[in-house]
Each structure stands twice: as structure tokens, then as C-alpha cells.
């Protein structure tokens, strides 16, 4: 799908879609619990459906009725299974430890850049604790890990820690020691929050998580609004409702970033709106908000002065090399932007010229291009814009609801 955008002012408001990060965690926890759960998710996506499909292949019964997923876990783990994570890094990294805890002999498939995304040191720790995992995709997994002590670097991927926390909660206990520095900490906090709602007993001291023997049990869980995807309409000046002001989601920090760039924020009972008419550059540490970098770079390209984004090196291992693809995309529209080893430097202009860009099959690049198009002088064409289906299938419909002029070519 190729999308043409005619630059137009954005106004009005939309409701936040459900958090993809919370949805993954809640669905997996429900399948590791005793008893039935109901998970309310107001909007699904390709990544969420990848997790649902994998969990069904592992024996869970999951039925969708409107916005509610009814989950009945399997009484006993499957002996064998074949699952397809599609392009979802969360699905793969969360479920790999879980599969090893279940002891299910599993073949794991993945597509896009997923087979290239690193699994070390998680893979080595799982093997050390009793699993057998092949070196090449599709991954062939067998054996069963034991509850015990795992040691992980804290600056590689919070997704590894999440997968282990869920696996050890299912196994009935264990310990995870993180070697500092610990990055993307809000995502770990989110996992602990969800696990506790399903009955887990988790304590933390000095970057070490102690998982005690407390069986998970089914519950009703409503997935809160997604701050990561809300960042895109917020950065265009739209109002977004249905957001949790006390959320553990790291991308809630988009509000602080916008304030730092000079935006005036209006907040009322989970509704947020930013006046982005007069932004200025600043320095931004992206270590805890890597997913927000594409949209921050998009608005920085037309902010006054220089913006420096740093500590974003993990972006090179996402659906695309996001440091390179963000720079390529914005440069194609006329932005003054250059790569650094761990981020980018952007010299803002009053407007961008416009032109044709590629999504690089990356949902956040496609959406960031649409945000940048608002400040372009000429139309913007986004190639392979269907990438938004990964996290926000209704993005361009919502874009048009807000006054945007996007149409399929």
C-alpha cells in the first residue's frame, strides 16, 4: 500500500488504542495461569495477533468476542508445537523462555528482520539452565529449564527480562540478577505490574528480582491506552483521550519531551493535547524511550535550532536500522539530519519540501513520515505504508479523522 498525503493542519481528537506492550504481557500471563481470563483490548494489530496465534498453537483456547479475548489455558503443556512469531520481536523474546519453561518441543518461525535480531545472552542463559536451542531459524527448541538464578546484562533488551520473569513465575520461583546499567526500565516495571495482577509474588532489591512460589491465576484485565502510538497524534497537536497518567509505560515521557521542546500541554482526566506550534531543539536521552525517537525526530526537523538524540544505539536492531532509516526518510523530505553512532543530530527548518519516502517495512517510520508531512510544502508519498498494521492498523483512518489528507494510491 502506497499512501499520498497532501499537507493539511491537524485538529480534533481521538481515543488511544490499546497498549501493544500491555496486551502481549496480559495474554501470555493469562495462558500461564490457572483458570479463565478475559482480556479487553480495544484495537488489535499484527503483533498482537502473532502472540495470540502462537499461544493457540501452544494449547491455549482463545476466543475473541468484540474487544474481549477469553483465554482458557491448557491443563498440561503440549508435547510438541510449531509457532510463527511473524515479525514481532516481543512475541519471540517473551515466548522463548516461556516455551523453555513449558518443556514443549517447539519450532519457532519468524519473518522480516526478526531472524536477524539478537537473542544473546538470553539464549545462552536458557541453554545453561537446561534448554536446547538451535543456532538458525526456524529455531528448534527442546528441553526444559529449571527454576534457578539467571544473570543478564541490563542494557541489552528489557524483552529478555520480561520473558524470564514470566517463565519463572510459571515455574514457581527463581532469581534474575541484572548487571547495570539497566535500560528501558519502564518495560520491566510494566511486566512486574501485569504479573502481580495475575497473582505473582515478585520482589526486587539492587537490580535483582526474586520470584517466589505463588501460582498465577486468571483474572479480568483491561489493557490501557498506548502511549507509544499516542505519541504520533500528540506530536501533531491532536488531543488523545483514554491515556493513563500514572502508567508504567516508558513512552509516557513523550509529554516531558514535548514540554522540553517548548510545547504547552493541556491535561484533563487522561486526555492530553499539546500546542506544538512553536517548538525548539534540545538534547534528548533516548535510553528509556527508543520507540519514540522516529516521531521526535520528525517534529525536531521543523523545530527551531538543533536537536541531539543520543543513547539510541539499540534502534539499529529494530524492524529496520531506525537510526539510518529515520535519517534517510527525513532527509528525503528535505530535513537537515545526520547520523551519529548512537543517535542523530537535527537542525530544524521552518518547513520541509516534501517528496517520496519508503517505510522500510517499519511501522514507526511510516507513521513518523505522516507526522513530518504536516509541515511539508508539497505532497508526500509513503511507499509500503501497510507497515502500520504491525501496531496501529487504523493509523491513516485516524489521521484523516484529525483533518489529515491521506489517500491510498
**Final residue before a domain boundary, out of 191, 214, 237:** 214
Q: How crowded is residue 46: how many other Cβ atoms within 10 Å of its Cβ?
A: 19
Shared domain check, 403 and 267: yes
Range of the domain at 339: 3-16+225-408
DSSP-based three-state secondary structure for 265: strand
Q: Any long-range contacts for 119-125 (C-beta under 8 Å, 24+ apart)? A: 119/92, 119/93, 120/156, 121/152, 121/153, 121/156, 121/160, 122/93, 122/96, 122/97, 122/152, 122/157, 122/160, 122/163, 122/164, 123/96, 125/150, 125/151, 125/152, 125/164
* Residue whose entry in the numeric block shows the C-alpha cell 510449531: 82
Any idea what DSSP says for residue 377? S
Shared domain check, 253 and 382: yes
Model pLDDT for residues 342-360, shown as the tens digit of each residue: 999 999 999 999 999 999 9
pLDDT of residue 166: 98
Shared domain check, 255 and 397: yes
Asked if the model's pLDDT at residue 175 lies above 80, the reply is yes
| Residue 386: all three cell numbers together | 501497510
**Final residue before a domain boundary, out of 195, 214, 233:** 214
Query: Is there a domain that residue 220 lies in?
Result: no
Domain count for the chain, please give it.
Answer: 2
Please give the model's pTM, rounded to 2 decimal places: 0.92
Strand order across the beta sheet in which 208-212 lies: 149-153, 174-179, 208-212, 201-205
Shared domain check, 182 and 95: yes
User: Which helix (H) or strand (E) segment is 257 a member of?
Assistant: helix 254-260
305 vs 312: CA distance, rounded Å: 21
* Residue whose entry in the numeric block shows the C-alpha cell 498506548: 226
How far is residue 167 from each of residues 176, 362, 387, measured CA to CA in Å? 11, 29, 30
Shared domain check, 240 and 175: no
Query: Which residues are known to be catalytic?
Result: 291
DSSP secondary structure of 132-157: EE-SSSSEEEEE-PPS-EEEEETTS-
Shared domain check, 60 and 12: no
Shared domain check, 207 and 245: no
- Beta bridge pairs of residue 408: 3
* Residue whose entry in the numeric block shows the C-alpha cell 529515520: 326
Model pLDDT for residues 273-293, shown as the tens digit of each residue: 999 999 999 999 998 899 999
Cβ neighbours for 66, distance < 8 A, ≥ 6 positions apart: none
* Residue whose entry in the numeric block shows the C-alpha cell 532509516: 325
Model pLDDT for residues 78-106, shown as the tens digit of each residue: 999 999 999 999 999 999 999 999 999 99
Cα angle 289-291-293, degrees, rounded to a multiple of 5:
80
- Beta bridge pairs of residue 176: 150, 209
Asked if the model's pLDDT at residue 319 lies above 80, the reply is no
Shared domain check, 183 and 268: no
Shared domain check, 59 and 8: no
Shared domain check, 237 and 170: no
Asked, as a colleague might, if the bond just before 121 is cis with ω within 30 of 0, I would say yes
Query: Is there a domain that residue 117 lies in?
Result: yes
- Please report, for the domain that includes residue 270, its CATH number: 3.65.10.10
pLDDT of residue 318: 78
pLDDT of residue 156: 84
**Final residue before a domain boundary, out of 190, 214, 238:** 214
Query: Is there a domain that residue 120 lies in?
Result: yes
User: Do residues 239 and 176 make contact, with C-beta atoms less than 8 angstroms apart?
Assistant: no
| Residue 41: all three cell numbers together | 483490548
Query: Is there a domain that residue 208 lies in?
Result: yes
DSSP-based three-state secondary structure for 166: helix
Q: How do 220-222 and 37-40 pair as beta strands?
A: parallel
Average pLDDT over residues 55-72: 97
Shared domain check, 8 and 26: no
Mean pLDDT of the chain: 95
Shared domain check, 290 and 189: no
Amino acid at each position: 500500500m502506497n499512501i499520498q498525503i497532501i499537507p493539511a493542519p491537524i485538529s480534533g481528537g481521538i481515543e488511544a488504542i490499546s497498549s501493544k506492550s500491555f496486551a502481549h504481557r496480559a495474554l501470555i500471563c493469562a495462558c500461564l495461569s490457572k483458570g479463565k481470563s478475559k482480556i479487553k483490548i480495544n484495537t488489535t494489530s499484527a503483533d498482537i495477533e502473532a502472540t495470540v496465534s502462537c499461544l493457540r498453537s501452544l494449547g491455549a483456547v482463545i476466543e475473541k468476542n468484540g474487544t474481549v479475548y477469553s483465554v482458557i489455558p491448557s491443563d498440561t503443556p503440549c508435547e510438541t508445537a510449531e509457532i510463527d512469531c511473524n515479525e514481532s520481536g516481543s512475541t519471540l523474546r517473551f515466548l522463548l523462555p516461556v516455551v523453555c519453561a513449558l518443556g514443549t518441543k517447539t519450532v519457532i518461525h519468524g519473518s522480516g528482520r526478526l531472524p536477524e535480531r539478537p537473542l544473546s545472552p538470553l539464549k545462552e542463559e536458557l541453554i545453561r539452565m537446561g534448554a536446547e536451542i538451535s543456532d538458525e531459524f526456524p529455531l528448534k527448541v527442546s528441553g526444559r529449564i529449571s527454576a534457578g538464578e539467571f544473570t543478564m546484562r541490563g542494557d541489552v533488551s528489557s524483552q529478555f527480562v520480561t520473558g524470564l520473569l514470566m517463565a519463572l513465575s510459571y515455574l514457581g520461583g527463581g532469581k534474575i540478577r541484572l548487571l547495570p546499567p539497566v535500560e528501558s526500565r519502564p518495560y520491566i516495571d510494566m511486566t512486574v505490574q501485569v504479573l502481580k495482577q495475575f497473582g505473582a509474588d515478585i520482589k526486587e532489591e539492587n537490580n535483582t528480582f526474586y520470584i517466589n512460589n505463588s501460582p498465577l491465576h486468571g483474572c479480568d484485565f483491561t489493557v490501557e491506552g498506548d502511549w507509544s502510538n499516542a505519541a504520533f497524534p500528540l506530536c501533531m497537536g491532536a488531543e488523545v483521550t483514554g491515556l493513563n497518567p500514572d502508567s508504567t509505560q516508558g513512552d509516557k515521557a513523550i509529554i516531558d519531551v514535548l514540554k522540553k521542546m517548548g510545547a504547552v500541554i493541556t491535561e484533563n482526566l487522561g486526555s492530553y493535547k499539546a500546542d506544538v506550534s512553536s517548538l525548539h531543539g534540545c538534547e534528548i536521552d533516548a535510553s528509556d524511550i527508543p520507540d519514540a525517537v522516529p516521531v521526535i525526530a520528525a517534529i525536531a526537523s521543523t523545530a527551531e535550532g538543533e536537536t541531539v538524540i543520543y543513547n539510541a544505539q539499540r534502534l539499529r536492531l529494530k524492524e529496520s536500522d531506525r537510526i539510518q532509516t529515520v535519517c534517510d526518510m527525513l532527509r528525503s523530505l528535505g530535513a537537515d539530519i545526520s547520523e551519529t553512532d548512537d543517535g542523530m543530530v537535527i537542525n530544524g527548518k521552518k518547513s520541509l519540501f516534501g517528496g517520496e519516502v519508503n517505510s522500510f517495512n517499519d511501522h514507526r517510520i511510516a507513521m513518523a513520515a505522516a507526522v513530518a508531512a504536516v509541515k511539508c510544502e508539497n505532497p508526500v508519498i509513503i511507499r509500503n505504508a501497510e507497515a502500520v498494521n504491525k501496531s496501529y492498523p487504523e493509523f491513516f483512518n485516524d489521521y484523516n479523522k484529525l483533518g489529515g489528507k491521506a489517500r491510498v494510491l
